[in-house]
Amino acid sequence: MSKIDVRDLHFSYAKGPEVLKGLDFSLDGRSCALVGQNGAGKTTFVKLLKGLLRPSSGSILLDGRDIAGSSVPELARHVGLVFQNPNDQIFKNNVLDEVMFGPLQIGMGEGEARASALAALELVGLSGHEAVNPYDLGLSDRKMVSIAAILAMDTDVVIFDEPTIAQDHDGKERLARIVRDLSCQGKVVISILHDMDFVAQTFERVIAMAHGEVLLDADPRSVFSQRDVLERARLEQPTTAQLCHALGYEELFLSPQEFVDFYRSQHGSHA
Amino acid sequence: MKSISLFEEKHSFLNGLSPETKLLYVVVAIAFPALVGGTVPQLAIMLLSIALLAGSKILTKSKPIIAVSGFVLLTVVIVQTFFRGGAYTELFRIGPLVARREGFDYSLGIVLNVFNIIFAFCVFVLATKPSDMMQSMVRRGISPRLGYVFVSLFQIIPQMTEHTSTITDAQRSRGMQTEGSLGTRVRAFLPLISPVIMSSFTDTRERSIALEVRGFNSHERKTFLDEFVPSSADRPVRIALLALLTLGVAFFVLRIVGVVSWPR
């Protein structure tokens, strides 16, 4: 199983104010959601993980080895990052070539890359679209192409930047399955998210960031129970939790199903 | 929004003048010395431009422009001083190279001329907001489409630069080498440029729809959201500039017919 150690990580752009103020934690097989207001430093952090930015001080260790010694293309074998906007990467004329680009770049053979790409497309639900031009697909499917392009590279670490954008219910369900699958395979899965319902139902760990610092770092239930802290960081609870709080319930419910189960146990199944 | 414009709002004397007045200043600054002749008017107007820039606290912003053109002009001085043809008076010698007074004087004339033009343009460019410029152009009957193209140029270039760097990050993230030998760079070209072009197409379509839903092509008479009102100095300055231009033309005509002459 892979592991990332973040040690006293500081970062600032040029002469600007400090964006990350001493992050210190480890990321392991538990799928992890990174939440926080815009400007909290989430994207900066994942760019540091990917080597696209270099820390002002502190270090990031991937399986015990400092990533400072590796170039971005070298790191690409180990760390995959799905960018927010699929249009930032798509350039091939058909979906299969686009998904095979990454695997080929990191040194997979043609056959292996093809097999890996087909498997990834199956996973994101785009089997049968191999020959389609990515720009003929809608935004949500194009986003899935960009996700498949990273999955096909079979990296130990997979990072998503806002994967739920433009996804409908089915798309989100599929994403949740992918996250759980990757996590089961022992990969480190990190995702930047604003959709708290999706976070609560999919991830095993939540790191809430504010102003370049970690505010909360625990399982979703513990994090979302800290209503006051979340409010100060301008973060919201999952909708069910908000609704039940407004209705005066003391308990925390992360999903509608949780509340329904609770309600039924209190009032009998006919309610 | 980011813009490549060199303009900075300083609420200065120059900021208060209308774009037309500043454009007229550029015309006069170039035409007047040419009409009158000699180095004195050139020098005087150049100093005036510098004083105006300093007064509006934007003289430092003209530094990079002066530095770049200064370097080019330096080569002109060197070439003219040492290699100008014809009879010459020797200034000094460096090995086989002879510095010639005629060439040196000639190149100084060029330097003065170019610096005068550059400083005059600085007065216009550094103190005029592109959108105010467009507004006055549209008021004068230029099509709003052209005006839009003019203003969007200032915004699209920084946007594209930013977008290109995101795309570079995205492709490097997929293991692509973008640095190294010429071959590597050539191979990296397509994956980098295609998303830029494809997204510019989609962006353009979205932008035109966004403009259209706000009535860009409507034939109704339009008002301006952020109307530029020139300061009270605008009119007198414009009159003074026109007077100066007229004076220059008059002097030029008199000189041609031989009534007056300017000491060279």
Instruction: Please write the tens of the pLDDT for every residue from B96-148.
Output: 888 888 889 899 989 999 999 999 999 998 888 888 888 888 888 888 888 88
pLDDT at position A269? 63
pLDDT > 70? residue A95: yes
Report pLDDT digits (tens) over A5-53: 999 999 998 878 889 999 999 998 899 999 999 889 999 999 999 999 9
How sure is the predictor about A2, in pLDDT bands with cuts at 50, 70 and 90? confident
Q: Does the residue A35 lie in any domain?
A: no
Nearest CB partner across the interface for A87, out of B173, B191, B195: B195
Q: Does the residue A267 lie in any domain?
A: yes
pLDDT > 70? residue A271: no
Residues in B closer than 8 angstroms to A89, CB to CB, are 167, 170-171, 174, 195
B174:A102 CB<8 A: yes
* C-alpha distance from A97 to closest chain B C-alpha (Å): 12
- Percent of residues, chain B, with pLDDT higher than 90: 25
Q: Which residues of A touch B (CB under 8 A)?
A: 47, 50, 52, 72-73, 76-77, 80-81, 83, 85, 87-91, 101-102, 105-107, 135, 149-150, 153
Q: Which domain holds residue A265?
A: 238-271
* C-alpha distance from A138 to closest chain B C-alpha (Å): 12
Residues in B closer than 8 angstroms to A47, CB to CB, are 169
Contact A168, A141 (CB under 8 A): no
* C-alpha distance from A84 to closest chain B C-alpha (Å): 10
Residues in B closer than 8 angstroms to A83, CB to CB, are 166, 169-170, 173
Average pLDDT over chain B reads 86
HSE, CB side, 13 Å, CA atoms: give it for residue A143: 19
Contact B110, B69 (CB under 8 A): no
pLDDT at position B116? 93
Report pLDDT digits (tens) over B206-235: 888 998 898 888 888 777 777 788 888 899
pLDDT at position A262? 92
Report pLDDT digits (tens) over A70-90: 888 889 999 999 999 898 888
Tokens of A23: 């992050």
Mean pLDDT of A166-171: 91
Q: Does the residue A65 lie in any domain?
A: no
Shortest CA distance from A73: residue in chain B: B175
Residues in B closer than 8 angstroms to A106, CB to CB, are 174-175
pTM, entire model: 0.75
Query: Residue A207 pairs with which residues in a beta bridge?
Result: A34, A217
pLDDT > 90? residue A122: yes
pLDDT at position B98? 87
pLDDT at position B25? 94
pLDDT at position A16? 83
pLDDT at position A200? 94
Report CA-CA distances (Å) from A266 to A242, A262, A269, B78. Answer: 20, 6, 9, 95
How sure is the predictor about A124, in pLDDT bands with cuts at 50, 70 and 90? very high
Q: Which residue has the higher pLDDT, B87 or A229?
A: A229
pLDDT at position B91? 84
pLDDT at position A15? 77
Q: Does the residue A255 lie in any domain?
A: yes
pLDDT > 80? residue B264: no
Query: Any CB–CB contact under 8 A between B198 and chain A?
Result: yes
Nearest CB partner across the interface for B174, out of A87, A101, A135: A101
Q: Does the residue A54 lie in any domain?
A: no
Q: Does the residue A159 lie in any domain?
A: no
pLDDT > 80? residue B5: no
pLDDT at position B263? 58
Query: Any CB–CB contact under 8 A between B191 and chain A?
Result: yes
Average pLDDT over chain A reads 92
* C-alpha distance from A102 to closest chain B C-alpha (Å): 5
pLDDT at position B161? 84
pLDDT at position B2? 62
Mean pLDDT of A217-228: 93
A83:B176 CB<8 A: no
Shortest CA distance from B197: residue in chain A: A91
Mean pLDDT of A243-249: 92
Query: Any CB–CB contact under 8 A between B48 and chain A?
Result: no
Sheet strand arrangement including A57-62: A18-27, A4-12, A57-62, A65-66
Mean pLDDT of B81-106: 86
Residue in A89, A116, A135 to test binding to B, most B beta-carbons within 10 Å: A89
Q: Does the residue A261 lie in any domain?
A: yes
pLDDT > 90? residue B259: no
Nearest CB partner across the interface for A135, out of B163, B173, B198: B198
Of A172-176, B217-221, B255-259, highest mean pLDDT = A172-176
| Dist. CA A49–CA A56, nearest whole Å | 13
Nearest CB partner across the interface for B170, out of A83, A107, A153: A83
Number of domains in chain A: 1
pLDDT > 80? residue A1: no
| Dist. CA A265–CA B134, nearest whole Å | 69
Q: Does the residue A251 lie in any domain?
A: yes
| Dist. CA A202–CA A194, nearest whole Å | 13
CA nearest to A119, candidates A94, A147, A143: A147
> Rounded to the nearest 5 degrees, what angle is found at the Cα of A128, between the Cα atoms of A124 and A134?
70
Residues in A closer than 8 angstroms to B164, CB to CB, are none
Tokens of A179: 């996250």
Mean pLDDT of A213-222: 93
A91:B176 CB<8 A: no
B198:A72 CB<8 A: no
| Dist. CA B264–CA B30, nearest whole Å | 18
Residue entry with tokens 């407004």: A246
B202:A52 CB<8 A: no
* C-alpha distance from A59 to closest chain B C-alpha (Å): 19
pLDDT at position B154? 78
A102:B167 CB<8 A: no
Mean pLDDT of B61-85: 89
pLDDT > 90? residue A120: yes
Which one-letter DSSP state was computed for residue A79? E
A89:B174 CB<8 A: yes
Query: Any CB–CB contact under 8 A between B165 and chain A?
Result: no
| Dist. CA A51–CA B172, nearest whole Å | 10
Contact B146, B136 (CB under 8 A): no
Shortest CA distance from A154: residue in chain B: B174
